[in-house]
């Protein structure tokens, strides 16, 4: 007696092999049998005629560890077919911590009661969670735990402390190290420090995943730093959420991919992941201005002419003091605004020119004319996204966290939180036909599992864990947008996590069947 029998679907198994019509039987959390016209009884029979049956989608780049305690169902992931997330990205992770760094984090997150990665996993196992979660650990987190925000090279003693924290995390099951080279405090580290940390993860076949320092005008130098780290340390490296931002830099993806090809020919194991929306993290215009002022921006500051004059003067000083950062920000675009629709999809420099003002005046005028309701982001070109997505080096990730319900601030919510995988399938497989269905599913599942040395997930194979998605190719589609980001996709009919029914007939069941997944080489 099987637990479930999924009959008559087109099985795309995650290996990049052609899909075949087959049945899939599940029992005790695993795939028990696969084949045409399976004969046997099951407690539940699902008719998948006309539907696609695939491995559960695997998120190569997630920040789920930031929110999973408060959102254990992981509904935003499940509803788009995600059954596995690799968290701890961009140099920031929830573990490992020291007593001092935990006390600091508890000011923002009082739910933190762990120090080690093993203790964090134990907490998740106790709480129960909706998806499978694996972790890398953040170099910024480790450096901050040892050195705080000290802007100097680590002393030999401090470096040894960092290495000890990382070694313990690797023994606890981490899949490697992440860096956020433009974020505090990880950006304060010299490259030599990161190389030494990478040497710790090599015996575990760990992966160094990096948010590089610059993704626009200095993208080549930033990518070269990552390649050098791989060369000098011997670690495998991952270019995360690969992109080229800002209109003046569009077109550089081709050269970046050529650099990666040359590195692999040299023996450096570098691959990448991406999300395919053409804009980065969305930030409301008050948040953009705050970056240059160092304090909150409130309506009283832009409601009166006197207040606006002062805000403009202060912002001009802030832009001048952070001139290099301002050069990047001016090429962020207005994605959506309440009233001044003529400025949407113009970058800030273009908008200022259209308005006939300097950058500071333009940004404050946007505040005033739209009552602060302006969404901005770095923007990417379709040519670059297409080049990265169709290249054999890339796999998929969301660069998002998990939430239960649809409760993200709509001024800062990104549609990728809810729809990265259905969006990719709808646009790039069914509409534009940039990828075959089999290749797209491979980039969402089998390729990720192979990258992480997971031998029992990511493919539809007898004996593998039963993480599956059943979707309708006729209705798979995103419904979220920049203006209305908190919407679930259509077409995801069923999702199974470790053999349990997590999404049934396009609705969540409330089942929390996820597991914490440890690096299979953690006993190195």
What tens digit of pLDDT does each residue of 214-245 get? 999 999 999 999 999 999 999 999 999 999 99
Euclidean distance between CA atoms 478 and 489, whole angstroms: 4
Question: Above 60 in pLDDT, residue 524?
Answer: no
Euclidean distance between CA atoms 83 and 78, whole angstroms: 6
The pLDDT value recorded for residue 198 is: 98
The pLDDT value recorded for residue 523 is: 67
The pLDDT value recorded for residue 79 is: 98
The pLDDT value recorded for residue 363 is: 96
pLDDT digits (tens, 9 = 90+) for 83-110: 999 999 999 999 999 999 999 999 988 8
Inter-CA distances, 161 with 103, 136, 237, 468, Å: 19, 18, 23, 42
The pLDDT value recorded for residue 406 is: 83
pLDDT digits (tens, 9 = 90+) for 254-275: 999 999 999 999 999 999 999 9
Euclidean distance between CA atoms 231 and 226, whole angstroms: 9
Mean residue pLDDT across the chain: 96
The pLDDT value recorded for residue 205 is: 97
* Rg of the chain taking only CA atoms, in angstroms: 23
In sequence order, the β-bridge partners of residue 11 are: 20, 53
pTM attached to this predicted model: 0.96
Higher pLDDT, residue 328 or 16: 16
The pLDDT value recorded for residue 73 is: 98
Question: Above 90 in pLDDT, residue 310?
Answer: yes
Q: Determine the Cα angle at 461 with ends 456 and 462, to 5°.
A: 95
Inter-CA distances, 81 with 347, 409, 441, 449, Å: 33, 23, 11, 16
The pLDDT value recorded for residue 203 is: 96
The pLDDT value recorded for residue 460 is: 98
pLDDT digits (tens, 9 = 90+) for 144-193: 999 999 999 999 999 999 999 999 999 999 999 999 999 999 999 999 99
Q: Give percent of the chain with pLDDT exceeding 90.
A: 94
Question: Above 60 in pLDDT, residue 427?
Answer: yes
The pLDDT value recorded for residue 439 is: 98
Question: Above 70 in pLDDT, residue 22?
Answer: yes
Q: Are 476 and 4 in contact (CB under 8 A)?
A: no
Three-state DSSP state, 359: helix
Euclidean distance between CA atoms 272 and 389, whole angstroms: 10
| Closest alpha carbon to 281 in 453, 424, 399 | 399
The pLDDT value recorded for residue 522 is: 85
Higher pLDDT, residue 3 or 295: 3
Three-state DSSP state, 469: strand
Q: State the chain's maximal CA–CA distance in angstroms.
A: 79
């Amino acid at each position: 007696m099987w637990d479930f029998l999924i009959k008559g679907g087109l099985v795309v198994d995650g290996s990049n092999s052609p899909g075949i019509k087959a049945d899939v039987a599940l029992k005790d959390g695993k795939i028990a049998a696969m084949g045409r016209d399976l004969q046997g009884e099951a407690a539940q029979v699902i008719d998948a005629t006309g539907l696609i049956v695939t491995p559960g989608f695997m998120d190569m780049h997630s920040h789920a560890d930031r929110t999973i305690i408060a959102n254990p169902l992981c509904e935003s992931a499940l509803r788009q077919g995600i059954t596995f997330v690799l968290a701890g990205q961009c140099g920031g992770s929830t573990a490992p911590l020291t007593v001092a760094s935990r006390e600091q984090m508890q000011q923002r997150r009082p739910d933190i009661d762990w120090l080690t990665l093993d203790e964090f996993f134990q907490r998740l196992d106790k709480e129960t969670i909706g998806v499978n979660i694996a972790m890398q650990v953040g170099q910024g987190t480790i450096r901050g735990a040892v050195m705080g925000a000290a802007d100097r090279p680590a002393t030999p003693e401090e470096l040894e402390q960092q290495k000890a924290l990382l070694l313990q995390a690797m023994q606890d099951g981490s899949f490697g190290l992440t860096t956020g080279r433009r974020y505090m405090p990880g950006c304060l580290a010299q490259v030599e420090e990161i190389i030494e940390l990478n040497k710790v993860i090599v015996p575990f076949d760990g992966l160094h995943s990096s948010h590089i320092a610059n993704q626009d005008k200095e993208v080549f130098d930033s990518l070269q730093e990552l390649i050098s780290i791989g060369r000098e340390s011997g670690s495998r490296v991952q270019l995360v959420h690969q992109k080229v931002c800002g209109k003046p830099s569009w077109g550089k993806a081709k050269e970046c991919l050529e650099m990666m090809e040359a590195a692999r020919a040299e023996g450096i194991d570098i691959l990448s992941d991406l999300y395919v929306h053409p804009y980065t993290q969305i930030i409301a215009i008050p948040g953009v201005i705050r970056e240059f002022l160092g304090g909150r921006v409130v309506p009283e500051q832009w409601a009166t002419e006197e207040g606006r004059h002062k805000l403009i003067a202060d912002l001009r000083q802030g832009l001048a003091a952070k001139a290099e950062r301002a050069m990047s920000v001016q090429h962020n675009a207005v994605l959506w605004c309440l009233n001044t629709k003529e400025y949407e999809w113009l970058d800030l420099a273009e908008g200022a020119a259209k308005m006939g003002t300097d950058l500071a005046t333009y940004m404050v005028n946007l505040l005033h004319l739209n009552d602060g309701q302006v969404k901005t982001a770095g923007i990417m070109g379709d040519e670059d996204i297409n080049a990265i997505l169709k290249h054999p080096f890339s796999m998929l990730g969301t660069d998002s966290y998990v939430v239960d319900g649809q409760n993200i601030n709509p001024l800062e919510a990104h549609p990728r939180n809810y729809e990265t995988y259905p969006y990719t399938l709808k646009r790039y497989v069914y509409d534009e036909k940039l990828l075959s269905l089999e290749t797209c599913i491979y980039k969402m599942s089998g390729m990720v599992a192979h990258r992480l040395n997971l031998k029992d997930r990511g493919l539809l194979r007898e004996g593998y864990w039963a993480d599956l998605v059943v979707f309708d190719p006729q209705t798979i589609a995103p419904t979220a947008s920049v203006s209305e980001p908190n919407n679930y996709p259509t077409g995801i009919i069923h999702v199974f996590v470790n053999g349990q029914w997590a999404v049934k007939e396009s609705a969540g069941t409330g089942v929390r069947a996820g597991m914490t997944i440890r690096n299979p080489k953690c006993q190195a």
